[in-house]
Amino acid sequence: MTTFRIKRFNPEKQPDPYWEEIDYDIPDGATLLDCLNDIKWTMDGTLSYRMSCRSAICGSCGMKANGHALLACQRQAEHLIKEGTDSITIEPMGNMPVVKDLVVDMEPFWDKVNQVKPFLKEEGERPEKERRQSPAEFKLIDDASTCIMCGCCYSDCNTLEVDKNFLGPAALAKAQRFVQDSRDTATNERIRELSESGGIWDCTHCAECVERCPKPAKPMDRIKEMMGVAIEEGVTNNNGARHALSFVKSVKHSGRVNENTLPLESMGYFNVKGLMELVPVGLRMLLKGKIPPIIHKNIDDVEDVRRIFRELGE
């Protein structure tokens, strides 16, 4: 017998969510969704959640099990039993308001997908037949194309937990699918918009989205690819791009990161407000002797590292 600890909430009836514990015998090979269906159909018809295809294709049944978002139809319930216990904790996805029980309002999610203009921008006359892509061109957008919009990445995104302005992993993965589409003609315009506050450079690289993604879309990897596009397109007048450029420069020079110049160059030497922000932490570290040595030491055999940088185009 397994205890399903389910977070229940009906805003019409309760002021706050509450935990309900249901004891249930998991049939052999049953997915978490199979169990919830059985519970709903035979024990408690008021339990609410979204579901449809039962095959990890439609992306409807996103929810949290033991604190992490997943598709309920994609995991065997038995594998989710928390070690050392005989229970599974089930909650609605995070970063979105709860409508009822495990159903969340995905409006903020869709708003952000729409914000990245998820449609092809073409110029000139349409060809008579389709616009062709080479396999190599398609490969660039193949992974992002597998996104099923389940919201699992959005649910567990660490930046979104503290900044609702962030576009979030799914919308940014969708953006990459157009930024790097060989048929799209608005790359520069797109990457400029995506480099603003709430865009690619606000990703904190926690890889929660990669971990929760039930498909190969892996949003963080797509965000990294767009950072490369931004630098290639010369859209570098922001702290994120300046940080990447300064980082590469200092490792090329000494084989190591220069922690003294990196913050200054990330802010930009003419960004007085940004530089002032560094003063308190700089002073604190200075007083404790934590400031890295002013004379930045090279690694041994740095020449070889410089050679690799040069050979690979840096």
Partner 1 sequence: MKFALFTGCVAKGATRELMMSTIKVAEGLDIEFVEMKSAACCGAGVIQEKNPLLTDAVNARSFAIAEEQNLDLVTICSTCQGNLKKSEQKIECNEEYKDKINHVLKDGGHQFEGGRIQIQHFANILLTDEAKKRLKEKVVRPLTGLKTAAFYGCYILRPSEFSPFDKPDDPTELEEIFEICGATPVDYESRTKCCGFPIIMMNKKASLDMAGNALADAVDSGADVIVTGCPLCHLNLDSYQPEAEALRKRDATIPILHLPQLVGLALGYSPRELGMDSHIVTPSVLEKIIGPAPAGSSHH
Contact residues for partner 1, defined by CB under 8 A: 66-68, 82-83, 158-159, 161-163, 166, 197, 201-208, 210-211, 218, 224, 227-228, 231, 238-240, 243-245, 247-248, 251, 255-257, 259, 263, 266-267, 277, 280-281, 284-285, 288-293, 297, 299-302, 304-305, 307-309, 311-314
How far apart are the C-alpha atoms of 230 and 69, rounded to whole Å?
A: 30
For partner 1, the closer CB: 66 or 87: 66
- Distance of closest approach, residue 41 Cβ to partner 1, in angstroms: 30
Residue 238 beta carbon to partner 1: minimum distance, rounded to whole angstroms: 8
* Strand-strand pairing, 2-8 and 87-91: parallel
For 126, which DSSP code?
A: P
CB of residue 282 to partner 1, shortest distance in Å: 10
Q: CB of residue 192 vs partner 1: minimum separation in angstroms?
A: 16
Q: Are 73 and 33 in contact (CB under 8 A)?
A: yes
Q: Which CB atom, from 37 or from 265, has the smaller least distance to partner 1?
A: 265
**Beta-bridge partners for 104:** 98
Residue written as token pair 């990447």 = 244
**Minimum distance, C-beta of residue 285 to partner 1, in the bound complex (Å):** 6
Smallest CA-to-CA distance from 208 within 59, 83, 64, 51 is with: 64
Between residues 39 and 302, which has the closer beta carbon with respect to partner 1? 302
Which CB atom, from 132 or from 284, has the smaller least distance to partner 1? 284
Helices assigned H by DSSP within 59-202: 77-80, 107-115, 135-145, 152-156, 158-162, 169-179, 187-194
If the CB atoms of residues 37 and 238 are measured against partner 1, the closer one turns out to be 238
Q: Specify the 3-state DSSP secondary structure of 156.
A: helix
